[in-house]
Structure 1
Amino acid sequence: MKKATLVLGLLASSVGAAYAQSSVTLYGIIDAGARYTTNAGPNAASKGSSLSTLAPGGMSQSRLGINITEDMGGGLKGIANLEHRLLSDTGAVAAADFWRQSWVGIQSSSFGRITLGRQYNVLFDAVTATYASFKYSPYAEIYKPEIGFSLGARNDNMVKYLIEVGGFRAEAQASAGEGGAGKSMGGLLRYAVGEFAVAGAYLDLKDAAGKSVKATTIGGAWTSGPWYLNAGWARNKFEAGFSAVTNATLAGSIVGALNAAAALGEHRDMWSVGGTYQLTPQLNLGAQYWNAKQTGYVAAGNGKGDFFAFVADYAFSKRTDAYLELDHTKISGNLTLANGATKRDGYTVGLRHRF
């Protein structure tokens, strides 16, 4: 009897294992770069000041993450992700939210997937998956003006549904807005065929006072052999009185504070175009141009921005690469940098390892 019970127990455990194969994957990036920036530094009032730093991420923000997948059988999988961002130069936490992603979900081979928690929003998904700035690294972490149009890139308290059929992908997101802030509603459509891919997304996000910002983006890319070309457009339209923290002034995400007279934007538009060329199996060359225009609630907030970046990336192996990044910023109209300057240049040399 004891032997029979033991055999039945072993069979039951083996059947359970067959229908619940789990995998836990630890991944991460460590990136650091030496950077020199003109019209910057501790003396913000001086146009001639400059800043030399060890940047905690030139091409990528350093991170440590965990991916979890459980095969439950019948085409169903349980999935989850935790991802922490850090500053490689000091080891400190990169943001107030320790887990920059923290979600759990279920994925079906027939009906798509649903995820719940803090995760990337549909604006970020559309650009990153379709017409990101650089083929080998979607954004240059040290210089990414387009991220300012993604409304934080991630949203809290989110439920997101994704389905793919052939070359089509659709996403829908909704955030509960717990505590009054962060309520959202949006969607994404993407189509890819052969060498071409196009996508568009819309997101309505509310602040704690119920004020709304409506964001739209659309773009596409062509990939053929060593070539990758992309183009995109984005708009943020702010309701009067919307949170000043999220309504950062034009280019605030990359040039820091602008002149005190710069009012918050009523709306801003950005279009971009660029490409990457794989010169050799190890060497990629990329260039991207962004043009942005802001219309303020008062004339002091009207202005334009021209942004350009060039990157050369050399892969020593599949996991380790070195890069050279050059960028140029020009502000015009009624806007200037905090020190009164209208131009800024940046130069970064760095090393990145992915695991």
Structure 2
Amino acid sequence: MKKSLLALAVLGAFAGAAQAQSSVTIYGIVDTGVVYTSKALNAAGTGTGSKFSVNSGVLQSSRLGFKGTEDLGGGMQALFVLESGFKNDTGALDDSKTTNTLFRRKSLVGLSGNFGSVLLGRNTDYADVISSYTSVGDFFGVTGAVGHNLDRLEGVRTNNSVTYTTNTIAGFTGNLMYGFGETAGQTSAGQAFNIGGKYDNGPLGLGINYYQSKQGSTPSDTNLLVGTTGLGDPTQAGNSAFKVLTLAASYQFGAARVYGNYSRVKQDLNTGSPTALASKTLSAANKADIYELGTSYMLSPSLKLMGAVTHTRAGFNSSAKGKLTQFSLGTDYYMSKRTDLYAIVANIRASDMANTGVFGDAVGNSTIGGADGSQTAVAVGIRHKF
């Protein structure tokens, strides 16, 4: 009897909490595929060979999230988002560049109303929003290594941030973000700021975003964290480390979408001039220009065909330059609104710089042996959204 009363009391407490909240949603994505890559590094890093694997997050990172709103009256709402990433192939946390970060993807709380919305916490900047006008809208992470991990279109987080987004007015939405470096006596150390906007008018979509961050012992820009320490470089505190301007456009011609985008990235603290090809990675570049053209076509209400060409020109603070080019083709079959099957083939090739491979990561870790050359990756998988 005592156990029954205790269970009823616990259920009552949860029911009360649910009633106090206007809306709470549990959501997520589980994306897993079988992947073939050519010229993959072996475990010792001494040679290459063909590799077959089961990968989580081939198109979109697998995630689990909670979001909710509470009506405060007068058109105002309180809201929160908590989103964690995980690797479906192993069940582990997807904990890139951090250690024991449960809600690595997003951790936000704020208010919305007639003024727009204000959010505080760990958030992506507006490049993540306008990425829907680029190949990221179709291929997601497949085009990351050729440039979109660097230009933030793949979604890079800013810690300790305040984000303001306007309501949509005549198709236009604006965004401002500021990230605090949280260093005593050094206001500029580790800080970041962002200004962006998008315009939607029927089939036309236009986007622009500018992001800048500075180095520090606790930089708000997670792109500046060193290794998995969760720390930055205090010897460069207050110095501008990263700048990126992105322009994007997309147009829907009936069943077909065409798009193009350009990003200019500057990493001012990369003052070295690497001589070995293997060390000429995008993360080591002083400057990079990223260009892209792509299209998708709905062959039927359930079947989409996709293609994109992404090209990056990198400079290494000297006369040394390098190029990366990726050709991406794919098809996506929607079995329902929540479940789809996909097949992707991509070839990435390098000239006068390191080739980290199609599924190489944002900090230059390679999945391909040596420099130059090319790698082909083929992925077949399933994605379920809930």
Shared fold (TM-score, shorter chain, > 0.5): yes
Contact 1:38 1:50 survives alignment (8 Å): yes
Amino acid at match of 1:228: R
Contact 2:354 2:370 survives alignment (8 Å): no
Contact 1:278 1:285 survives alignment (8 Å): yes
Contact 1:264 1:297 survives alignment (8 Å): no
Contact 1:39 1:341 survives alignment (8 Å): no
1:61-83 deviation per Cα after TM superposition (whole angstroms, max 9, x unaligned): 10000011111111101111000
SS in 1 for 2:90: coil
Measure how far apart 1:50 and its partner are: 2.0
Amino acid at match of 1:205: S
- Change in CA separation of 1:23 and 1:310 when aligned onto 2, cut-off 3 Å: same
- Change in CA separation of 1:26 and 1:140 when aligned onto 2, cut-off 3 Å: same
SS in 2 for 1:51: strand
Counterpart of 2:110 (choices 100, 105, 115) is 105
Contact 1:328 1:345 survives alignment (8 Å): yes
Measure how far apart 1:132 and its partner are: 2.7
Q: Which residue of 2 aligns with 1:231?
A: 260
Identity %: 29
Q: Which residue of 2 aligns with 1:214?
A: 243
Determine whether 1:290 maps to 2:291: no
Q: How does 1:1-355 map to 2 (within 5 A)?
A: 22-42=22-42, 44-46=45-47, 48-95=48-95, 96=98, 97-99=101-103, 100-108=105-113, 110-128=114-132, 131-133=133-135, 135=137, 137=138, 139-144=139-144, 145=146, 146-150=148-152, 153-163=156-166, 164-179=168-183, 182-208=190-216, 209=236, 210-212=238-240, 213-241=242-270, 259-260=278-279, 264-300=284-320, 302-335=321-354, 338-355=369-386
Distance in structure 1 (CA, Å) of the matches to 2:340 and 2:134: 19
Amino acid at match of 1:325: I
Distance in structure 1 (CA, Å) of the matches to 2:353 and 2:120: 43
Contact 2:350 2:371 survives alignment (8 Å): no
Contact 1:184 1:204 survives alignment (8 Å): yes
Gaps spanning 5+ residues in structure 1: where? Answer: 1-16, 250-256
- Change in CA separation of 1:258 and 1:126 when aligned onto 2, cut-off 3 Å: farther
Contact 1:284 1:312 survives alignment (8 Å): yes
Q: Cα RMSD over matched residues?
A: 2.5
Measure how far apart 1:22 and its partner are: 1.0
Contact 1:155 1:182 survives alignment (8 Å): no
Measure how far apart 1:342 and its partner are: 1.3
1:274-313 deviation per Cα after TM superposition (whole angstroms, max 9, x unaligned): 011111111111111101000102345x200101111111
Structure with higher strand content: 1
- Change in CA separation of 1:20 and 1:93 when aligned onto 2, cut-off 3 Å: closer
Distance in structure 1 (CA, Å) of the matches to 2:179 and 2:295: 34
- Change in CA separation of 1:126 and 1:142 when aligned onto 2, cut-off 3 Å: closer
Q: Which residue of 2 aligns with 1:9?
A: none
Amino acid at match of 1:190: K
Amino acid at match of 2:324: G
Gaps spanning 5+ residues in structure 2: where? Answer: 1-16, 217-235, 356-367
1:227-260 deviation per Cα after TM superposition (whole angstroms, max 9, x unaligned): 1111100011121358x9xxxx9xxxxxxx9713
Measure how far apart 1:168 and its partner are: 0.9
Contact 1:45 1:339 survives alignment (8 Å): no
Measure how far apart 1:223 and its partner are: 1.6
Q: Which residue of 2 aligns with 1:254?
A: none
Measure how far apart 1:182 and its partner are: 4.2
TM-score, structure 2 length as denominator? 0.77
**Count of residue pairs the alignment pairs up:** 319
Contact 1:258 1:338 survives alignment (8 Å): no
1:41-88 deviation per Cα after TM superposition (whole angstroms, max 9, x unaligned): 325433x51221101122111000001111111110111100000000
SS in 1 for 2:40: coil
TM-score, structure 1 length as denominator? 0.83
- Change in CA separation of 1:117 and 1:41 when aligned onto 2, cut-off 3 Å: same
